[in-house]
Structure 1
């Protein structure tokens, strides 16, 4: 994997570049649509490429391990062959599920024991077998096994969790370096900075992660309920420590404003379920602000959803028609809204890249943050 910085903004820490994998080159900053179970919900792979113009998508280790299972994925030749997506893929490690499934898991030094949400069966994730699982899934970028601490979180818990995450990382690195990819192409391991919202822990974790010398680095444990300004403070602190010549991935973030503010702090990669999850509930992100398409005001509004974006879903269908579909619980409504929101997110990072190249990102960002988050 190769990361090249092409330009830096004059008024912020934003940068644009390329991240080259064996499945293609990614332009950064980039937003990665989330395909939890091997599919971006309600979106065809053709639409991901042609309309949304996605460059990389995510898969979820926990969900893919449980269903369809590693045997089926290996027989298919990995997730790329199984789901028909020939671009880069990133898989998370299951660490977020450690956080989110707190009622059906137990964390110990060896790893995490958990109960399947599907059938109640018992399973055990360790740093070693999570590396093996992600080798079998076959993502281009795989994440180290970590614990995502909740917010709020007591200092001692955050410290103990971070230190365990660091020990787990050393085990991940050992297993990853002792094994080979299964499908003939390169895989990269990204460690994850933790430490909750405590500055000294974030500094300690960022220094430890940077010292591992991996091909990229991630920032976890944010966007879990803490105030946005606290997120930005932690991100800036960490980005100033992580190597500038390697990609920085802020996990699970976020709103359009979150993305722009964190690009300004030096983040290169983002993912979030928000564009598709909110789409299914009728919330649309547009270049002019946020639309709740369920509202009465759109009932007889026959203008396109957002002609600025240029994508088929955003320019062909009217607000009134989409509102009708959503209210009627037609599957097409969720599909159109999801494609539109993802088209918007990919448009947003593309515009950010252009502004960085022009050296005008900071001023543009300040204007757009307010504009994009107003409710129409």
Structure 2
């Protein structure tokens, strides 16, 4: 890679599934890998020590939210995100571009950037590619994202093309503004569900020679099959020797489908959001712990899971949610984070053994049977 503190080694491929290592100033990430989401500088309900115990190698934090509170300058003065969160391993920050989509009712997009009304106090926030770079440099993450324009899907071809080429122009401005050699800047491929546009955007991003690439603008309302097809149309146009990151995805089956199509890195709020709402992931499909069927079940969620939730019975975990005890969401979140890390560790082993397709079929059969 052109950024000397960073290097991605592609160790093995099983068809399109890839096994690699990303080397960063704060350690190595074995890929494919999943990043827990710490929007506000914390993984909701789980202390940072427990996050490490789940097997997490890297976490994600949010540029927009941390800029508003406590302020990126405050984070910088408190030792950047690593010191602020007490997390010594790699960190990735998103650019704030997703807020173009998620806070659409509060934002206005033009060529210069995006103007938001703060969801905290209503004050005006002017976020441009240059400002996004400055905030992310203050936050001090290892991997940082180019500022992009995300829109809902499905959408009109005109709207998708407009957002895609604006993202390309913004990426060029991000490259010019990016100044820290100890941060790896990722370009983001947009294009909605238009496969030709995705290929054109990928070609434009690759021509800019980013150190790694992300596939963005998916999991925003489209059916899973269309998301998979968009990934499959994109990854062959990205350099084989560079990391590939699929943003904001997803369910366990989504992760394996994306690994099949050449993706190396993931993030999603699903493990913790579902955990807080009493849904836990297992090899036998999801379990909704508020269901009465678990009242008298004495077995753990999964017999071979080392997480603290699985030291208790299903009946006890259900009781915690029924009694509205805060320990219930905490334990369920830890289990889900652990499950995601175990799933991708097993995927890495399967790729190394040239057995990923069999592994994927076995996992999918279990999830299907449990539905």
Fold in common (TM above 0.5): yes
The equivalent residue for 1:320 is: 315
Q: Is the 8 A contact 2:95 2:132 kept in 1?
A: yes
2:266 pairs with 1:264: no
CA offsets, 1:78-114, max 9 Å, x none? Answer: 0110110111000000111111101000000000000
2:21 pairs with 1:4: no
Q: In the TM superposition, what is the alpha-carbon distance from 1:367 to its structure 2 partner? A: 2.2
Q: What are the within-5 Å matches in structure 2 for residues 203-352 of structure 1?
A: 203-314=199-310, 316-352=311-347
Inter-partner Cα distance in structure 1 for 2:365 and 2:155: 30
The equivalent residue for 2:41 is: 38
2:98 pairs with 1:96: yes
The alignment partner of 1:206 has SS state of helix
Q: What are the within-5 Å matches in structure 2 for residues 45-60 of structure 1?
A: 45-50=48-53, 52-60=54-62
Inter-partner Cα distance in structure 2 for 1:374 and 1:143: 38
Q: What are the within-5 Å matches in structure 2 for residues 352-371 of structure 1?
A: 352-371=347-366
TM-score for both structures, normalised by structure 2: 0.97
The equivalent residue for 1:77 is: 79
Structure 2: 5+ residue runs without aligned partners? 1-5
The equivalent residue for 1:146 is: 148
Inter-partner Cα distance in structure 1 for 2:207 and 2:252: 31
Q: In the TM superposition, what is the alpha-carbon distance from 1:307 to its structure 2 partner? A: 2.2
Task: Call closer, same or farther: CA 1:327–1:374 in 2, change over 3 Å.
Answer: farther
The alignment partner of 1:279 has SS state of helix
Aligned residues: 366
CA offsets, 1:218-246, max 9 Å, x none? Answer: 00011111111111111011100000100
Inter-partner Cα distance in structure 2 for 1:375 and 1:141: 37
The equivalent residue for 2:177 is: 175
CA offsets, 1:323-359, max 9 Å, x none? Answer: 1111111111110000000000000000000000000
Query: What is the alpha-carbon root mean square deviation over aligned residues?
Result: 1.0
Inter-partner Cα distance in structure 2 for 1:2 and 1:180: 16
Task: Between the two structures, name the one with larger relative contact order (CA 8 Å, sep ≥ 6).
Answer: 1
